[in-house]
């Protein structure tokens, strides 16, 4: 299958430097066939601009004028996809006051480095689930102004009054105005429609809702249900008109089930997922995005006195330690898993550490890699162009030294990054 001409045109425009005139020949010592769940040895991938031209058994050198990249000591795999990041922020002790001090350009400049770190860690595609300037950041990457992953952006998240993504939580009265649906706070089915249509106008790619309380918001509960099922259904229905899928942040079981029944595409975190919730997710084909590393991170920080406001610290200590175990149960039960880290809570560029936590919880390495490639691409609705190394797909290819099925920590040492046929990182010659 060839990439349609229209898409090729857009992508060529997006490249930071023009790919070499000849083809690029990647000599891979090993290559992960994510579809079949196996590792092939000695495979050559021929890349012709933004599309993969050929995948051949054996190591070949191409024609004169072709560029050969020696990855014989590495394992090649499709560009990694993280379906839950926040590229325009990174939590620190002083994050609570950022809302009072920073202007959009401050978020924008800061996010440039986060985007580059993410790309160089091997993540060639991300879904950004809520951030001040994520749509503009996506556009800047696509236009080649900055280096970063391909971004599918939610823009501002949708919450209810006082809910996890209400931007005025914890503020004093005169500052806490009543945010409108356009700003992301809804309280009815009509508001829900307005908010989704505003995201379309903003240029978003996906809708994010906060179906239950969360850890880092200044509010007492980390798990209460925060939307009615009617409101969620209205969001999902209107989202379909615009080709949006809906991602739902959910810790508590009740809000999670409402979101699944309401038709969301993925549940993020899912901390208190129970048997009934897992059965519902399997029935509806809902993806689970565990973000184990975010749980580990908030648990660790909850032990540092004064790092979080007290109302947040309590929730972080309670919820953080549970996510890895929830992930283990969901994987065992056969719930569909897509890889996501919530980076921006944890440090950007550390995304690959999630693989170690997944394997530790009982998922085979190749399944974890599939969750960050083919399965993540399917959740995004982009498995026609992303997620596998096959002729006609976009040339997003990364490599790690050694063999990640022998040592999963290799996923944190990505040594080759190609996006749209452009090389951003390669092993020293």
Binding site for Zn ion (CB under 5 A): 342
Considering the complex, state which of residue 299 and residue 342 has its C-beta at the smaller distance from Zn ion.
Answer: 342
Three-state secondary-structure class, residue 425: strand
Closer to Zn ion at the Cβ: 231 or 342? 342
Whole-number minimum distance, CB 84 to Zn ion, in Å? 6
Q: Least separation, in Å, of the C-beta of 95 and Zn ion?
A: 13
Our CB check for Zn ion shows the closer of 107 and 424 to be 107
Of 341 and 395, nearer to Zn ion (C-beta) is 341
Q: Which is nearer to Zn ion, 294 or 389 (CB)?
A: 294
Report in angstroms how near the CB of residue 129 gets to Zn ion at its nearest: 5
**Measured from the CB atom, is 91 or 416 closer to Zn ion?**
91
Nearest approach, Cβ of residue 392 and Zn ion (Å): 33
Query: How far, in whole angstroms, is CA 96 from its chain's centroid?
Result: 23
Residue 214's nearest CA partner among 171, 246, 260, 248 is: 248
The HSE-up count of residue 230 (CA atoms within 13 Å, CB side) is 6
Please list, residue by residue across 169-191, b when 16 or more beta carbons sit within 10 angstroms of its beta carbon and e when fewer do.
bbeeeeeeeebebbbbbbbebeb
Span between the terminal Cα atoms of the chain, in Å = 34
Q: Shortest gap between Cβ of 342 and Zn ion (angstroms)?
A: 4
- The SS3 of residue 202 is helix
**Strand-pair partners of 69:** 26
Smaller CB distance to Zn ion: residue 34 or 151?
A: 151
**Residue number, 342 or 396, with CB nearest to Zn ion:** 342
CA distance 292 to 357: 7
The DSSP annotation for 81-135 comes to EEEEE-TT----TTGGGHHHH--HHHHHHHHHHHHHHHHHTTEEEEEE-S-TTHH
Q: Are strands 287-289 and 67-78 parallel, antiparallel or unpaired?
A: unpaired
H-type alpha helices, 285-408: 292-302, 310-319, 323-333, 353-360, 365-371, 374-380
Length of the chain: 429
User: To the nearest whole angstrom, how small is the minimum distance from the Cβ of residue 315 to Zn ion?
Assistant: 14
CB-based closest residue to Zn ion: 342
CB atoms within 10 A of CB 345: 22
| Residue 269 C-beta: closest distance to Zn ion, Å | 8
In whole angstroms, the minimum distance from the beta carbon of 258 to Zn ion comes to 19
Find out whether 121 and 78 touch, Cβ atoms under 8 Å: no
Nearer to Zn ion, 74 or 271 (CB): 271
Question: Shortest Cβ distance from residue 37 to Zn ion (Å)?
Answer: 29
């Amino acid at each position: 299958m060839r990439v349609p001409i229209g898409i090729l045109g857009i992508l060529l425009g997006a490249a930071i430097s023009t790919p070499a005139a000849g083809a690029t020949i990647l000599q891979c010592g090993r290559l992960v066939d994510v579809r079949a769940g196996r590792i092939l040895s000695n495979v050559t991938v021929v890349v012709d601009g933004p599309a993969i031209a050929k995948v051949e058994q054996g190591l070949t050198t191409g024609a004169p004028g072709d560029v050969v990249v020696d990855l014989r000591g590495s394992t090649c795999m499709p560009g990694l996809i993280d379906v839950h990041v926040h590229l325009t922020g990174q939590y620190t002790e002083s994050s609570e006051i950022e809302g009072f001090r920073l202007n959009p350009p401050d978020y924008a400049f800061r996010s440039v480095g986060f985007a580059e770190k993410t790309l160089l860690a091997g993540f060639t595609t991300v879904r950004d689930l809520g951030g001040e300037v994520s749509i503009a950041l996506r556009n800047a990457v696509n236009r080649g102004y900055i280096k970063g992953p391909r971004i599918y952006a939610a823009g501002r998240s949708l919450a209810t009054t006082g809910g996890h993504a209400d931007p005025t939580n914890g503020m004093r009265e005169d500052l806490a105005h009543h945010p409108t649906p356009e700003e992301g706070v809804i309280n009815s089915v009509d508001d829900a429609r307005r908010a989704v249509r505003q995201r379309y106008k903003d240029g978003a790619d996906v809708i994010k809702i906060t179906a239950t309380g969360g850890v880092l918001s200044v509010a007492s509960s980390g798990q209460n249900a925060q939307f009615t099922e009617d409101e969620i259904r209205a969001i999902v229905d209107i989202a379909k008109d615009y080709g949006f899928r809906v991602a739902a942040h959910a810790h508590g079981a009740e809000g999670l089930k409402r979101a699944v029944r309401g038709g969301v595409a993925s549940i993020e975190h899912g901390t208190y997922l129970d048997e009934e919730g897992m059965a519902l997710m399997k029935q509806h084909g809902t993806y689970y995005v565990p973000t184990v590393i975010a749980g580990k991170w908030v648990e660790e920080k909850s032990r540092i006195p004064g790092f979080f406001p007290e109302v947040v610290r309590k929730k972080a200590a309670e919820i953080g330690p549970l996510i890895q175990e929830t992930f283990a149960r969901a994987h065992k039960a056969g719930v569909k898993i897509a890889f996501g880290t919530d980076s921006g809570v944890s440090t950007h560029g550390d995304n690959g550490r999630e693989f170690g936590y997944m394997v530790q919880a009982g998922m085979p390495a190749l399944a974890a890699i599939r969750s960050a490639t083919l399965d993540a691409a399917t959740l995004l609705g982009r498995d026609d162009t992303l997620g596998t190394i096959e002729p006609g797909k976009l040339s997003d290819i990364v490599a790690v030294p050694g063999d990640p099925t022998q040592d999963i920590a290799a996923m944190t040492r990505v040594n080759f990054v190609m996006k749209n046929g452009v090389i951003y990182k390669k092993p020293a010659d």
